[in-house]
Structure 1
Amino acid sequence: MENSLDNLIAQVKGQLLDRFTRSGAHVDLFDAIHGLSWEQAGQKKEHFPYNIWQLTEHIRISQFDILEFCRNPSYKSPDWPSGYWPKQSSPRNSLEWKQTQDKIREDHQAFVALIQNDLDIFKRFDHGTGQTLFNEALLILDHNAYHVGQILLIRKLNGWWH
């Protein structure tokens, strides 16, 4: 019985890792922002609540929060919702835009490593309110896909997407 459970967990982990490392039917974040200048990322379309910079920074902040929650029991999340959005409305320069992208990539890879190294992705964390690594992985995938869709919409409306 235990061997079949281990096999099932290994299969689920494999499928999660596939979603984290291949975009499948979705455009991944890095394809969605590829080729955008920092100036474009900071432009805000009239009647839109966010620009691409704000959405990308929100993804960075949220993904980091989930990662830290999973690996650090004493981590304290930012205030909701203000702590999950950037304070500024656009990047200051191309370096800041690149640093955001690099940090997302770094935290993404760290989360992949958590999935790879965790023996039981369904075990509830000793801290929190019943969350598991599996649940938090789904949260990242779902959250990022939602906002990538918004980024693509902004790009299409601005004529920046093929």
Structure 2
Amino acid sequence: MTSIKAADKSHTGPDEQEALRKQLVALLKGGQAHSTFDDVIKDLPSDHRGVVPPNLPYSAWQLLEHLRITQRDILNFSAPPTGGYHGIKWPDDYWPKSPTPPSAHAWAQSIAAMRSDLDHFIALIENSKSDLYKPFRWGDGQNLLREALLIADHTSYHLGELVVLRRLLNIWHK
């Protein structure tokens, strides 16, 4: 993986990063160049959440969980819990095995976790003490800016897949 290297600190400070922080938050919330997370998951019928359309390898449930798991992993990498960051195994730990949600409440729980984790990540971005360019002490030179861009890029990619999946199932509302 490539990283965005630290900027020359002689000309930057928290105030100079404020405009970038606002742009990153807008990007993470989505809706500028594509549908938002809420638009894509809105009114997705429960009886379609575990359906794998022909010629696709995953269901809406698997895509939603993959988004949640990956976003949580990036959050944990960017702000490790006590005890440090512990990576998960690619690809096995990033994708649910079953195409169907394990319970009636799993869909709503996954959505709530996505929103909560995104709020936590946005709080990191908005914290004026967070230097967006400073490489983490762990990893390979990654920084908060790189991780924010990674979340935005990854999420928009898979939201597009969810739109296609919904179109194939004839349940897209737009």
Give the TM-score range, shorter chain.
over 0.9
Distance between the aligned counterparts of 2:133 and 2:105, measured in 1?
39
Q: CA deviation at 1:85?
A: 0.5
Higher RCO (CA-CA < 8 Å; seq separation 6+): 2
Percent identity for Structure 1 against Structure 2 = 36
- Name the residue aligned to 1:158: 169
Q: How far apart in 2 are the matches of 1:35 and 1:50?
A: 19
Listed as ranges, the matches of 1:51-66 within 5 Å are 51-66=59-74
Residues 79 and 47 (structure 1 numbering): CA distance in 2 closer, same or farther, change over 3 Å?
Answer: same
Q: Report the TM-score, using the length of structure 1 for normalisation.
A: 0.92
State the alpha-carbon separation in 2 of the partners of residues 92 and 129 from structure 1. Answer: 36
User: What is the number of equivalent residue pairs in this alignment?
Assistant: 162
Counterpart CA distance in 1 for 2:9 and 2:155 is 34
TM-score by length of 2: 0.86
SS at match of 1:42: coil
RMSD: 1.8
Matched position secondary structure for 1:55: helix
Match of 1:39 in 2: 47
Q: CA deviation at 1:94?
A: 2.9
Change (3 A) 1:127 1:102: same
Kindly indicate whether the alpha-carbon contact (under 8 Å) linking 1:38 and 1:91 is maintained by their aligned counterparts in 2: no
More helix by share: 1
For the residues of structure 1 that align with 2:115 and 2:131, how far apart are their CA atoms? 24
Q: Distance in 2 between matches of 1:119 and 1:95?
A: 35
Aligned to 2:114: 104
* Unaligned 5+ runs, structure 2: 1-7
